[in-house]
Structure 1
Amino acid sequence: MTRTFFVTGTNTEVGKTYVTAALLHAAGAQGLKTAAVKPVASGCEQTPEGLRNSDALTLMAAMTEDMPYEQVNPIALEPAIAPHIAAMEAGRRLDPSRLVGICRGVMSSKADLVLIEGAGGWRVPLAPRQFLSDVPRALELPVILVVSMELGCINHALLTAEAIHRDGLPLAGWVANFVRGPQSDMPRAEENLATLRTVLPAPCLGVLPHDESGDFRSGAAHLDLSPLLSSSN
Protein backbone atom coordinates (compact mmCIF):
# COMPACT_ATOMS: atom_id res chain seq x y z
CA MET A 1 0.00 0.00 0.00
CA THR A 2 1.34 3.40 -1.01
CA ARG A 3 1.27 6.05 1.70
CA THR A 4 1.34 9.63 0.46
CA PHE A 5 1.87 12.82 2.46
CA PHE A 6 2.09 16.49 1.55
CA VAL A 7 4.98 18.36 3.19
CA THR A 8 4.47 22.04 3.98
CA GLY A 9 6.21 24.57 6.20
CA THR A 10 5.46 27.45 8.50
CA ASN A 11 7.07 29.73 5.91
CA THR A 12 9.59 29.69 3.10
CA GLU A 13 13.23 28.77 3.85
CA VAL A 14 12.33 26.57 6.82
CA GLY A 15 14.10 23.45 5.55
CA LYS A 16 11.19 21.64 3.89
CA THR A 17 13.47 19.98 1.34
CA TYR A 18 16.00 18.96 4.00
CA VAL A 19 13.23 17.39 6.09
CA THR A 20 11.51 15.77 3.10
CA ALA A 21 14.79 14.26 1.92
CA ALA A 22 15.57 13.09 5.45
CA LEU A 23 12.17 11.40 5.65
CA LEU A 24 12.77 9.70 2.29
CA HIS A 25 16.22 8.53 3.36
CA ALA A 26 14.94 7.21 6.69
CA ALA A 27 12.18 5.28 4.92
CA GLY A 28 14.61 3.90 2.37
CA ALA A 29 16.88 2.73 5.17
CA GLN A 30 13.92 0.69 6.44
CA GLY A 31 13.65 -1.04 3.08
CA LEU A 32 10.76 1.01 1.72
CA LYS A 33 10.51 2.16 -1.88
CA THR A 34 10.22 5.94 -1.94
CA ALA A 35 9.33 8.64 -4.46
CA ALA A 36 8.83 12.38 -4.29
CA VAL A 37 7.29 15.27 -6.20
CA LYS A 38 8.10 18.99 -6.06
CA PRO A 39 5.15 20.20 -8.17
CA VAL A 40 6.26 23.83 -8.43
CA ALA A 41 9.76 25.21 -7.92
CA SER A 42 11.09 28.71 -8.51
CA GLY A 43 14.74 29.62 -8.32
CA CYS A 44 15.82 27.15 -11.00
CA GLU A 45 19.07 27.27 -12.96
CA GLN A 46 19.56 26.86 -16.70
CA THR A 47 21.43 23.67 -17.59
CA PRO A 48 22.03 21.80 -20.87
CA GLU A 49 19.06 19.62 -19.91
CA GLY A 50 16.81 22.60 -19.18
CA LEU A 51 15.79 24.35 -15.98
CA ARG A 52 16.79 22.45 -12.84
CA ASN A 53 15.96 23.14 -9.20
CA SER A 54 18.38 22.18 -6.44
CA ASP A 55 15.56 21.13 -4.10
CA ALA A 56 14.10 18.76 -6.68
CA LEU A 57 17.53 17.30 -7.36
CA THR A 58 17.99 16.72 -3.62
CA LEU A 59 14.72 14.81 -3.50
CA MET A 60 15.84 12.68 -6.44
CA ALA A 61 19.06 11.86 -4.60
CA ALA A 62 17.16 10.89 -1.46
CA MET A 63 14.43 8.68 -2.96
CA THR A 64 14.89 5.09 -4.07
CA GLU A 65 12.79 5.11 -7.25
CA ASP A 66 14.14 6.26 -10.61
CA MET A 67 11.95 8.99 -12.10
CA PRO A 68 12.55 11.58 -14.83
CA TYR A 69 13.19 15.11 -13.61
CA GLU A 70 10.07 16.41 -15.33
CA GLN A 71 7.91 14.08 -13.24
CA VAL A 72 9.58 15.09 -9.99
CA ASN A 73 9.41 18.82 -10.80
CA PRO A 74 6.83 19.44 -13.54
CA ILE A 75 6.81 23.24 -13.14
CA ALA A 76 10.32 24.75 -13.05
CA LEU A 77 10.58 28.54 -12.93
CA GLU A 78 13.84 30.48 -13.13
CA PRO A 79 13.44 33.56 -10.86
CA ALA A 80 13.69 32.93 -7.13
CA ILE A 81 10.41 34.72 -6.43
CA ALA A 82 6.81 33.78 -5.64
CA PRO A 83 5.79 31.04 -8.12
CA HIS A 84 2.66 32.80 -9.41
CA ILE A 85 4.67 35.95 -10.19
CA ALA A 86 7.47 33.95 -11.83
CA ALA A 87 4.91 32.07 -13.94
CA MET A 88 3.17 35.29 -14.96
CA GLU A 89 6.47 36.82 -16.05
CA ALA A 90 7.24 33.68 -18.06
CA GLY A 91 3.81 33.71 -19.71
CA ARG A 92 2.86 30.40 -18.10
CA ARG A 93 -0.29 29.31 -16.32
CA LEU A 94 -0.10 27.28 -13.14
CA ASP A 95 -2.95 24.78 -13.30
CA PRO A 96 -3.66 22.92 -10.03
CA SER A 97 -5.57 20.19 -11.89
CA ARG A 98 -2.50 19.38 -14.00
CA LEU A 99 -0.37 19.16 -10.87
CA VAL A 100 -2.95 16.89 -9.27
CA GLY A 101 -2.77 14.57 -12.29
CA ILE A 102 1.02 14.38 -12.14
CA CYS A 103 0.93 13.64 -8.42
CA ARG A 104 -1.66 10.92 -8.96
CA GLY A 105 0.65 9.29 -11.48
CA VAL A 106 3.45 9.08 -8.92
CA MET A 107 1.03 7.94 -6.23
CA SER A 108 -0.01 5.03 -8.47
CA SER A 109 3.60 3.85 -8.77
CA LYS A 110 5.09 0.95 -6.86
CA ALA A 111 6.54 3.21 -4.17
CA ASP A 112 5.64 2.47 -0.56
CA LEU A 113 6.00 6.12 0.47
CA VAL A 114 5.39 9.20 -1.69
CA LEU A 115 6.13 12.69 -0.40
CA ILE A 116 4.84 15.77 -2.21
CA GLU A 117 6.75 18.88 -1.17
CA GLY A 118 5.07 22.25 -1.35
CA ALA A 119 6.62 25.64 -2.06
CA GLY A 120 6.84 28.24 0.68
CA GLY A 121 4.06 27.98 3.25
CA TRP A 122 0.59 26.50 3.09
CA ARG A 123 -1.27 29.25 1.20
CA VAL A 124 1.05 29.93 -1.72
CA PRO A 125 -0.84 31.41 -4.71
CA LEU A 126 -0.76 29.74 -8.10
CA ALA A 127 -3.25 32.05 -9.78
CA PRO A 128 -6.10 34.37 -8.75
CA ARG A 129 -8.15 32.41 -6.18
CA GLN A 130 -6.06 29.27 -6.71
CA PHE A 131 -3.42 28.03 -4.30
CA LEU A 132 -0.88 25.23 -4.05
CA SER A 133 -2.90 23.96 -1.09
CA ASP A 134 -5.61 23.09 -3.64
CA VAL A 135 -3.41 20.17 -4.72
CA PRO A 136 -3.35 18.27 -1.39
CA ARG A 137 -7.01 19.20 -0.92
CA ALA A 138 -7.95 17.57 -4.24
CA LEU A 139 -5.84 14.51 -3.38
CA GLU A 140 -7.20 14.43 0.21
CA LEU A 141 -3.70 14.02 1.61
CA PRO A 142 -2.53 14.07 5.22
CA VAL A 143 0.02 16.80 5.85
CA ILE A 144 3.46 16.92 7.48
CA LEU A 145 4.37 20.34 8.86
CA VAL A 146 7.96 21.57 9.07
CA VAL A 147 8.31 24.07 11.91
CA SER A 148 11.29 26.42 11.81
CA MET A 149 12.41 26.77 15.42
CA GLU A 150 12.72 30.51 15.98
CA LEU A 151 10.92 33.34 17.75
CA GLY A 152 7.28 33.28 16.62
CA CYS A 153 7.28 29.60 15.64
CA ILE A 154 4.37 28.69 17.92
CA ASN A 155 2.08 31.26 16.33
CA HIS A 156 3.19 30.30 12.80
CA ALA A 157 2.73 26.60 13.50
CA LEU A 158 -0.71 27.01 15.06
CA LEU A 159 -2.00 29.26 12.28
CA THR A 160 -0.77 26.80 9.64
CA ALA A 161 -2.28 23.82 11.47
CA GLU A 162 -5.59 25.69 11.73
CA ALA A 163 -5.56 26.45 7.99
CA ILE A 164 -4.85 22.80 7.19
CA HIS A 165 -7.73 21.75 9.44
CA ARG A 166 -10.10 24.27 7.83
CA ASP A 167 -9.19 22.82 4.45
CA GLY A 168 -10.44 19.46 5.71
CA LEU A 169 -7.07 17.70 5.87
CA PRO A 170 -5.45 15.89 8.81
CA LEU A 171 -2.10 16.92 10.23
CA ALA A 172 -0.19 13.63 10.24
CA GLY A 173 2.86 14.91 12.09
CA TRP A 174 5.32 17.76 12.45
CA VAL A 175 9.08 18.18 12.49
CA ALA A 176 10.96 20.78 14.51
CA ASN A 177 13.88 22.05 12.45
CA PHE A 178 16.62 24.29 13.85
CA VAL A 179 17.38 25.67 10.41
CA ARG A 180 18.40 29.16 11.64
CA GLY A 181 21.07 28.03 14.07
CA PRO A 182 21.94 25.66 16.92
CA GLN A 183 19.31 24.86 19.52
CA SER A 184 21.48 26.60 22.12
CA ASP A 185 21.07 29.89 20.22
CA MET A 186 17.29 29.95 20.61
CA PRO A 187 16.08 31.36 23.93
CA ARG A 188 13.88 28.86 25.80
CA ALA A 189 14.14 26.30 22.99
CA GLU A 190 13.04 23.40 25.20
CA GLU A 191 10.07 25.38 26.50
CA ASN A 192 9.02 26.22 22.93
CA LEU A 193 9.32 22.56 21.92
CA ALA A 194 7.25 21.50 24.93
CA THR A 195 4.55 24.02 24.01
CA LEU A 196 4.45 22.84 20.41
CA ARG A 197 4.11 19.24 21.55
CA THR A 198 1.13 20.30 23.67
CA VAL A 199 -0.74 22.53 21.24
CA LEU A 200 -0.20 20.86 17.86
CA PRO A 201 -2.77 18.10 17.19
CA ALA A 202 -0.27 15.61 15.78
CA PRO A 203 2.84 13.72 16.87
CA CYS A 204 6.31 15.20 16.62
CA LEU A 205 8.27 13.11 14.11
CA GLY A 206 11.62 14.49 15.20
CA VAL A 207 13.72 17.42 16.32
CA LEU A 208 16.42 18.14 13.75
CA PRO A 209 19.54 19.95 14.96
CA HIS A 210 21.14 22.70 12.93
CA ASP A 211 23.26 21.18 10.17
CA GLU A 212 25.64 23.46 8.30
CA SER A 213 26.43 20.68 5.83
CA GLY A 214 22.82 20.31 4.73
CA ASP A 215 23.30 16.55 4.50
CA PHE A 216 19.83 15.04 4.78
CA ARG A 217 21.33 11.72 5.88
CA SER A 218 22.29 13.35 9.17
CA GLY A 219 18.75 14.59 9.69
CA ALA A 220 17.28 11.14 9.02
CA ALA A 221 18.86 9.80 12.21
CA HIS A 222 16.66 12.13 14.27
CA LEU A 223 13.32 11.07 12.75
CA ASP A 224 10.68 8.60 13.92
CA LEU A 225 8.54 7.40 11.00
CA SER A 226 6.33 5.08 13.03
CA PRO A 227 3.37 7.51 13.27
CA LEU A 228 3.38 7.81 9.48
CA LEU A 229 3.86 4.16 8.64
CA SER A 230 1.18 3.03 11.07
CA SER A 231 -1.40 5.38 9.52
CA SER A 232 -4.18 4.04 7.31
CA ASN A 233 -3.31 6.42 4.45
Structure 2
Amino acid sequence: MSSPLSLFVTGTDTEIGKTLVSCALLRGFAKAGLSAAAMKPIAAGAHFNADDGMWHNEDADQLDEASGALLPPEVRTPYLLKAPAAPHIVAAQEGRTLKLAPIVECHREAMRRADVVVVEGVGGFRVPLDNKRDTADLALALGVPVVLVVGVRLGCINHALLTAEAIVARGLRMVGWVANIVDPAMRFVDENVETLREWLDREHGVPLIGTVPHLAPPSAERAAAYLDIDTLLLALRRHAG
Protein backbone atom coordinates (compact mmCIF):
# COMPACT_ATOMS: atom_id res chain seq x y z
CA MET A 1 0.00 0.00 0.00
CA SER A 2 1.43 3.38 -0.99
CA SER A 3 2.05 6.11 1.58
CA PRO A 4 -0.50 8.90 1.85
CA LEU A 5 0.23 12.11 -0.03
CA SER A 6 -0.27 15.71 0.98
CA LEU A 7 0.17 19.21 -0.37
CA PHE A 8 -0.12 22.80 0.83
CA VAL A 9 -2.18 25.19 -1.30
CA THR A 10 -1.09 28.81 -1.07
CA GLY A 11 -1.82 31.88 -3.16
CA THR A 12 -0.48 35.15 -4.46
CA ASP A 13 -3.01 37.00 -2.29
CA THR A 14 -6.30 36.56 -0.53
CA GLU A 15 -9.54 36.16 -2.53
CA ILE A 16 -7.77 34.70 -5.57
CA GLY A 17 -9.37 31.25 -5.61
CA LYS A 18 -7.41 29.05 -3.21
CA THR A 19 -10.59 27.40 -1.97
CA LEU A 20 -11.96 26.88 -5.47
CA VAL A 21 -8.72 25.27 -6.62
CA SER A 22 -8.40 23.22 -3.42
CA CYS A 23 -11.92 21.89 -3.95
CA ALA A 24 -11.15 21.20 -7.61
CA LEU A 25 -8.06 19.24 -6.56
CA LEU A 26 -10.16 17.19 -4.15
CA ARG A 27 -12.62 16.42 -6.95
CA GLY A 28 -9.75 15.52 -9.26
CA PHE A 29 -8.13 13.18 -6.77
CA ALA A 30 -11.49 11.47 -6.23
CA LYS A 31 -11.84 10.90 -9.97
CA ALA A 32 -8.35 9.37 -9.89
CA GLY A 33 -9.66 6.81 -7.40
CA LEU A 34 -8.14 8.32 -4.26
CA SER A 35 -9.84 9.13 -0.98
CA ALA A 36 -9.12 12.83 -0.48
CA ALA A 37 -9.42 14.84 2.72
CA ALA A 38 -9.10 18.58 3.24
CA MET A 39 -7.72 20.73 6.02
CA LYS A 40 -8.19 24.44 6.57
CA PRO A 41 -6.01 24.60 9.70
CA ILE A 42 -6.66 28.28 10.35
CA ALA A 43 -9.87 29.92 9.22
CA ALA A 44 -10.73 33.54 9.95
CA GLY A 45 -14.39 34.42 9.61
CA ALA A 46 -17.13 32.29 11.14
CA HIS A 47 -20.89 32.29 11.54
CA PHE A 48 -23.06 30.39 14.00
CA ASN A 49 -25.51 27.86 12.58
CA ALA A 50 -28.50 27.49 14.89
CA ASP A 51 -29.55 24.26 13.12
CA ASP A 52 -26.52 22.27 14.26
CA GLY A 53 -25.34 24.54 17.08
CA MET A 54 -21.88 24.93 15.55
CA TRP A 55 -19.67 27.68 14.19
CA HIS A 56 -18.95 27.42 10.48
CA ASN A 57 -16.50 28.91 8.02
CA GLU A 58 -17.60 29.18 4.39
CA ASP A 59 -14.29 27.99 2.93
CA ALA A 60 -14.10 25.04 5.31
CA ASP A 61 -17.68 24.04 4.48
CA GLN A 62 -16.85 24.09 0.77
CA LEU A 63 -13.82 21.89 1.40
CA ASP A 64 -15.99 19.43 3.33
CA GLU A 65 -18.45 19.29 0.45
CA ALA A 66 -15.66 18.42 -2.00
CA SER A 67 -13.90 15.89 0.25
CA GLY A 68 -14.26 12.18 -0.18
CA ALA A 69 -12.81 11.47 3.27
CA LEU A 70 -14.57 13.80 5.69
CA LEU A 71 -12.59 14.89 8.75
CA PRO A 72 -14.05 15.88 12.12
CA PRO A 73 -14.30 19.69 12.29
CA GLU A 74 -11.71 19.90 15.05
CA VAL A 75 -9.22 18.01 12.87
CA ARG A 76 -10.08 19.82 9.66
CA THR A 77 -9.87 23.26 11.29
CA PRO A 78 -8.04 23.31 14.64
CA TYR A 79 -8.27 27.11 14.76
CA LEU A 80 -11.60 28.63 13.78
CA LEU A 81 -11.55 32.38 14.41
CA LYS A 82 -14.64 34.56 14.44
CA ALA A 83 -13.76 37.78 12.60
CA PRO A 84 -12.82 37.81 8.86
CA ALA A 85 -9.47 39.56 9.26
CA ALA A 86 -5.74 38.83 9.52
CA PRO A 87 -5.49 35.72 11.71
CA HIS A 88 -2.80 37.00 14.08
CA ILE A 89 -4.92 40.07 14.85
CA VAL A 90 -8.14 38.11 15.38
CA ALA A 91 -6.38 35.44 17.44
CA ALA A 92 -4.95 38.12 19.75
CA GLN A 93 -8.39 39.70 20.15
CA GLU A 94 -9.90 36.30 20.98
CA GLY A 95 -7.09 35.48 23.42
CA ARG A 96 -5.84 32.55 21.38
CA THR A 97 -2.35 31.53 20.28
CA LEU A 98 -1.96 29.89 16.88
CA LYS A 99 0.36 27.00 17.69
CA LEU A 100 1.89 24.81 15.00
CA ALA A 101 2.13 21.58 17.02
CA PRO A 102 -1.65 20.95 17.23
CA ILE A 103 -1.96 21.56 13.50
CA VAL A 104 0.85 19.10 12.77
CA GLU A 105 -0.87 16.49 14.95
CA CYS A 106 -4.19 17.06 13.18
CA HIS A 107 -2.39 16.66 9.86
CA ARG A 108 -0.97 13.33 11.02
CA GLU A 109 -4.47 12.21 11.91
CA ALA A 110 -5.77 13.34 8.52
CA MET A 111 -3.01 11.36 6.79
CA ARG A 112 -4.21 8.24 8.62
CA ARG A 113 -7.71 8.74 7.26
CA ALA A 114 -7.10 9.45 3.55
CA ASP A 115 -4.92 8.70 0.53
CA VAL A 116 -4.22 12.39 -0.05
CA VAL A 117 -4.67 15.46 2.16
CA VAL A 118 -5.10 18.94 0.69
CA VAL A 119 -4.13 21.64 3.17
CA GLU A 120 -5.40 25.11 2.30
CA GLY A 121 -3.45 28.01 3.76
CA VAL A 122 -4.92 31.27 5.01
CA GLY A 123 -4.46 34.41 2.91
CA GLY A 124 -1.18 34.65 1.01
CA PHE A 125 2.06 32.79 1.62
CA ARG A 126 3.47 35.12 4.31
CA VAL A 127 0.41 35.99 6.36
CA PRO A 128 1.56 36.33 10.00
CA LEU A 129 0.35 33.87 12.63
CA ASP A 130 1.93 35.85 15.47
CA ASN A 131 4.80 38.33 15.84
CA LYS A 132 7.41 35.75 14.79
CA ARG A 133 5.81 33.10 12.57
CA ASP A 134 3.78 33.09 9.37
CA THR A 135 2.04 30.61 7.08
CA ALA A 136 5.38 29.74 5.50
CA ASP A 137 6.37 28.34 8.90
CA LEU A 138 3.17 26.31 8.90
CA ALA A 139 4.01 24.76 5.51
CA LEU A 140 7.51 23.98 6.77
CA ALA A 141 6.17 22.37 9.95
CA LEU A 142 3.90 20.12 7.89
CA GLY A 143 6.79 19.19 5.59
CA VAL A 144 4.65 18.96 2.46
CA PRO A 145 5.16 20.38 -1.05
CA VAL A 146 3.38 23.49 -2.25
CA VAL A 147 0.92 24.27 -5.04
CA LEU A 148 0.70 27.97 -5.85
CA VAL A 149 -2.61 29.48 -6.97
CA VAL A 150 -2.07 32.61 -9.06
CA GLY A 151 -5.01 34.97 -9.26
CA VAL A 152 -4.73 36.16 -12.86
CA ARG A 153 -5.37 39.89 -12.88
CA LEU A 154 -3.32 43.02 -13.44
CA GLY A 155 -0.04 42.68 -11.51
CA CYS A 156 -0.18 38.89 -11.25
CA ILE A 157 3.21 38.29 -12.89
CA ASN A 158 5.08 40.25 -10.24
CA HIS A 159 3.03 38.76 -7.41
CA ALA A 160 3.53 35.21 -8.68
CA LEU A 161 7.27 35.48 -9.22
CA LEU A 162 7.81 37.07 -5.81
CA THR A 163 5.70 34.41 -4.10
CA ALA A 164 7.54 31.61 -5.90
CA GLU A 165 10.87 33.10 -4.78
CA ALA A 166 9.61 33.24 -1.19
CA ILE A 167 8.47 29.61 -1.28
CA VAL A 168 11.78 28.35 -2.61
CA ALA A 169 13.77 30.60 -0.26
CA ARG A 170 12.08 28.90 2.71
CA GLY A 171 13.32 25.53 1.50
CA LEU A 172 9.95 24.32 0.29
CA ARG A 173 9.37 22.50 -2.96
CA MET A 174 6.77 23.70 -5.43
CA VAL A 175 5.14 20.84 -7.31
CA GLY A 176 2.84 22.91 -9.50
CA TRP A 177 0.95 26.12 -9.99
CA VAL A 178 -2.55 26.95 -11.15
CA ALA A 179 -3.61 30.03 -13.09
CA ASN A 180 -7.06 31.09 -11.88
CA ILE A 181 -8.68 33.80 -13.98
CA VAL A 182 -10.21 36.14 -11.41
CA ASP A 183 -10.64 39.17 -13.69
CA PRO A 184 -12.63 38.22 -16.80
CA ALA A 185 -12.06 41.70 -18.27
CA MET A 186 -8.27 41.50 -18.06
CA ARG A 187 -6.45 42.08 -21.34
CA PHE A 188 -3.84 39.62 -22.65
CA VAL A 189 -4.76 36.80 -20.28
CA ASP A 190 -3.13 34.09 -22.41
CA GLU A 191 0.04 36.13 -22.79
CA ASN A 192 0.29 36.69 -19.03
CA VAL A 193 -0.20 33.00 -18.28
CA GLU A 194 2.36 32.02 -20.92
CA THR A 195 4.90 34.48 -19.50
CA LEU A 196 4.45 32.98 -16.05
CA ARG A 197 4.63 29.45 -17.41
CA GLU A 198 7.99 30.19 -19.04
CA TRP A 199 9.46 32.02 -16.05
CA LEU A 200 8.32 29.58 -13.36
CA ASP A 201 9.53 26.63 -15.41
CA ARG A 202 12.89 28.22 -16.18
CA GLU A 203 13.59 29.55 -12.68
CA HIS A 204 12.09 26.82 -10.51
CA GLY A 205 11.14 23.89 -12.76
CA VAL A 206 7.51 24.20 -11.68
CA PRO A 207 4.85 22.95 -14.12
CA LEU A 208 1.56 24.67 -14.85
CA ILE A 209 -1.06 22.12 -13.84
CA GLY A 210 -4.04 24.04 -15.09
CA THR A 211 -5.66 27.29 -16.16
CA VAL A 212 -9.10 27.71 -14.64
CA PRO A 213 -11.29 30.16 -16.57
CA HIS A 214 -13.51 32.67 -14.84
CA LEU A 215 -16.48 30.59 -13.70
CA ALA A 216 -19.74 32.27 -12.77
CA PRO A 217 -20.89 30.86 -10.48
CA PRO A 218 -17.70 29.14 -9.23
CA SER A 219 -17.83 25.37 -9.54
CA ALA A 220 -15.24 22.97 -8.16
CA GLU A 221 -16.56 20.20 -10.42
CA ARG A 222 -16.10 22.36 -13.53
CA ALA A 223 -12.76 23.71 -12.36
CA ALA A 224 -11.43 20.18 -11.83
CA ALA A 225 -11.78 19.51 -15.55
CA TYR A 226 -9.06 22.09 -16.23
CA LEU A 227 -6.47 20.54 -13.88
CA ASP A 228 -3.82 17.98 -14.85
CA ILE A 229 -4.16 15.72 -11.83
CA ASP A 230 -1.91 13.01 -13.29
CA THR A 231 1.05 15.39 -13.57
CA LEU A 232 0.48 16.63 -10.04
CA LEU A 233 0.21 13.10 -8.62
CA LEU A 234 3.46 12.14 -10.32
CA ALA A 235 5.22 15.12 -8.73
CA LEU A 236 3.72 14.37 -5.31
CA ARG A 237 4.78 10.72 -5.47
CA ARG A 238 8.30 11.70 -6.47
CA HIS A 239 8.45 14.06 -3.51
CA ALA A 240 7.12 11.41 -1.14
CA GLY A 241 9.27 8.65 -2.55
Coarse TM-score class (shorter-chain normalised): over 0.9
Structure 1 residue ranges (4+ consecutive) displaced by more than 6 angstroms after TM superposition: none
Match of 2:182 among 179, 183, 186: 179
Cα displacement (A) at 1:29: 1.4
**CA-to-aligned-CA distance 1:64-110 (integer Å, 9 cap, x gap):** 0122122111111111100111111111111122212211221233x
Shift of 1:179: 2.0
Runs (5+) with no aligned partner, structure 1 = none
Task: Choose which of 28, 31, 34 in structure 1 pairs with 2:30.
Answer: 28
Asked whether 1:115 is paired with 2:118, we answer yes
**Pairwise mapping of residues 117-136 of structure 1 onto structure 2 (< 5 A)?**
117-136=120-139
Instruction: Name the CA distance, whole Å, in 2 between partners of 1:64 and 1:130.
Output: 32
Q: Is 2:12–2:149's contact at 8 Å kept on the other side of the alignment?
A: yes
Q: Distance in 1 between matches of 2:180 and 2:48?
A: 30
SS in 2 for 1:177: strand
Structure 1 distance, partners of 2:231, 2:144, is 15
Other-structure match for 2:164? 161
| Structure 2 alignment gaps of length 5 or more | none
CA distance in 1 between counterparts of 2:19 and 2:226 reads 15
Whole-angstrom distance in 1 between the partners of 2:80 and 2:143: 24
Instruction: Give the match's secondary structure for 2:129.
Output: strand
Q: Which amino acid aligns with 2:139?
A: P
Find 1:46's aligned residue among 27, 45, 48: 48
Does the 8 A contact of 1:147 with 1:174 survive in 2? yes
User: Identity, % of aligned pairs?
Assistant: 44
Structure with the larger helix share:
2
TM-score (norm 1): 0.95
**Structure 2 CA distance, aligned partners of 1:171 and 1:71?**
25
How many residues are treated as equivalent by the alignment? 229
Kindly indicate whether the alpha-carbon contact (under 8 Å) linking 1:44 and 1:80 is maintained by their aligned counterparts in 2: yes
**1:198 matched to 2:198:** yes
CA RMSD of superposed structures (Å): 1.1
- Larger displacement relative to structure 2 (113-122 or 49-58): 49-58
